[in-house]
Amino acid sequence: MAETFIDTEQSILTVIVVVMVDPGRQDAFLERLEMMIGTFTRHQPGFVSSAVHASEDGGMVINYSQWRDRDSFCAFRDHPEGERHIAELQDICESMDARIMPPRFIYASGD
C-alpha cells in the first residue's frame, strides 16, 4: 500500500486541489482522475504521492499530492500531456482550485 507522509520539516512540496463537481458527475471525475494519476502523473520525475478524497454527498473531491520540489510540479503541470489531462478534468467539474500548501502543524493520537 502506498503511503503519504506529512512532516513540517520535510522539503516536500504539497499541492492541494479542491474540486467542486455536480454530484451526478463525481464518479466520472474520479475515474478520469485515477486514470490520469495512474498512467501519467505518478511516472513524472519528482512525483512523490497523491491521496484523493471524495465527499459522501458527491459534490467535492480533494487531491492531496506531494512533489519533490516546485520545479517538478511545474514541469508536470506545464507538460503538454499534463495540460491535456487537466483540461479534460476541468470539462467534467464545476471548478478546480490547486494551491501549494505547506503543512504548518501536525497532531496525532498520543501527542
DSSP-assigned letters across all residues of the chain:
-------TT---EEEEEEEE--GGGHHHHHHHHHHHHHHTGGGSTTEEEEEEEE-TTSSEEEEEEEESSHHHHHHHHHSHHHHHHHHHHHHHSSEEEEEE--------TT-
Instruction: Please indicate, yes or no, if residue 2 is contained in any of the structural domains.
Output: no
Per-residue model confidence (pLDDT) at position 91 = 97
Instruction: Please indicate, yes or no, if residue 55 is contained in any of the structural domains.
Output: yes
Instruction: Please indicate, yes or no, if residue 106 is contained in any of the structural domains.
Output: no
Q: What is the pLDDT along the chain (111 residues), one digit of tens a residue?
A: 566 667 677 789 999 999 999 999 999 999 999 999 999 999 999 999 999 999 999 999 999 999 999 999 999 999 999 999 999 999 999 999 999 998 888 888 875
Identify the domain containing residue 69 by its residue range. Answer: 14-100
The enclosing domain of 95 has a CATH number of 3.30.70.100
Per-residue model confidence (pLDDT) at position 68 = 95
Instruction: Please indicate, yes or no, if residue 67 is contained in any of the structural domains.
Output: yes
Instruction: Please indicate, yes or no, if residue 108 is contained in any of the structural domains.
Output: no
Count of domains forming the chain: 1
pTM: 0.89
Instruction: Please indicate, yes or no, if residue 5 is contained in any of the structural domains.
Output: no
